[in-house]
Amino acid sequence: MATTQSAKDGATCAIEQLLDIMARLRAPEGGCPWDLEQTFATIAPYTIEEAYEVAEAIERQDMGALKDELGDLLLQVVFHAQMAREAGAFDFNDVAQAISAKMLRRHPHVFGSASVASAEAQTKAWETMKADERAAKAAADGRRPSVLDGVSAAYPALMRAMKLQRRAARVGFDWPEAGQVLDKIREEIGEIEAELGAAESTGASDRLQDEIGDLLFACVNLARHVDVDPESALRKGNSKFDRRFRQIENWLADAGKSPASVSLDEMEALWQRAKLTE
């Protein structure tokens, strides 16, 4: 128990130190000019960036980097909380208390008398509680609730597509089988081909953008049906392209060449070679 209390005391001191540092940086007298100029809107992009860097460290399984990136992400929370405190809206303690209350409320099987049989059952209970909370918020706002409430428009497009589809699937708006999604993908490709033909004679078309969007949405649907996270899948695809293209550049450099100095056929042959070396 003493060790546990000591760890809690250490964590409290560390948080208090970070809060004090942030307050000092934002102090009108003697603070940092850059920090003083920031607003919620200007800091938000950094918050998103730090979250992605946390995900990258996890993907690389780099615990040292993960520790640093989590610290950077925590700083973003502290930064927003400090600006909110200055505005008289809330402070860091309010943020911590709000999430603590939410965790206690959503885990009655741990902190109350309820019980759940499995992780799957807990997931369903969690989603039911969140749906009830969204419905209550809609009622408080004087509007009709939607199963799509809470799916933020600020999410990355692939992530938002997945969340929208999952919500719709809960009420039965979904293809029963992955094969039907493949048929939809083929249909969307056909519509893109038609738009490409039209664009050749009339120029770029807004419809082409719409059809490509429909194809990407259908691809996310396929990923969901086969339990693949599309955001992670595309990140891996990006990493694969980055790795293979850099290898092509290295081989060409060894031969005194560059990508711009060789033909597409030559680069394609090197691409296939890069694939075989993995």
Instruction: Output the pLDDT for position 8.
Output: 73
The answer to whether 277 and 247 have CB atoms below 8 angstroms apart is yes
Asked if residue 61 and residue 8 are part of one domain, the reply reads: yes
Q: Looking at the structure, tell me whether residues 25 and 65 fall in a common domain.
A: yes
Are residues 36 and 67 part of one domain? yes
Going from the C-alpha of 182 to that of each of 160, 187, 188, the distances in angstroms are 20, 9, 10
Q: Are residues 118 and 81 in the same domain?
A: no
Token digits of residue 145: 């609730």
Low-confidence ranges of the chain (pLDDT < 50): 1
Residues 211 and 261 in one domain: no
Which pLDDT score, from 0 to 100, does residue 11 have? 78
If asked whether residues 24 and 102 sit together in one domain, one would say yes
d(CA 58, CA 70): 10
| Pairwise CA distance, residues 63 & 58, whole Å | 8
Pair (237, 218) in one structural domain: no
Q: Are residues 101 and 66 in the same domain?
A: yes
In a domain, 260, yes or no: yes
- Would you state the pLDDT for residue 117? 78
Q: Looking at the structure, do residues 39 and 61 belong to the same domain, yes or no?
A: yes
Residue 150 lies in a domain: no
Is there a domain that residue 258 lies in?
A: yes
User: Among 189, 212, 228, where does a domain finish?
Assistant: 228
Q: Is residue 151 part of a domain?
A: no
- Residue 81 and residue 7 share a domain: yes
- Domain that includes residue 141, residue range: 113-145
pLDDT of 201: 64
Residues 194 and 270 reside in one and the same domain: no
Whether residues 100 and 39 share a domain: the answer is yes
Q: Are 145 and 134 in contact (CB under 8 A)?
A: yes
Domain boundary among 43, 75, 106: 106
Q: Is residue 152 part of a domain?
A: no
d(CA 226, CA 232): 14
Tell me if 161 is assigned to some domain. yes
Residue-wise pLDDT for 62-119, tens only, equals: 999 999 999 999 999 999 999 999 999 999 999 999 999 999 988 888 898 888 778 7
pLDDT number for residue 40? 97
Does the pTM of the predicted model rise above 0.95? no
pLDDT, position 98: 96
Residue 41: per-residue pLDDT: 96
Structurally, the chain folds into a number of domains equal to: 4
What CATH number is attached to the domain comprising 42? 1.10.287.1080
| Cβ contacts of 130 within 8 Å, gap of 6 or more | 106, 150
**Which pLDDT score, from 0 to 100, does residue 3 have?**
56
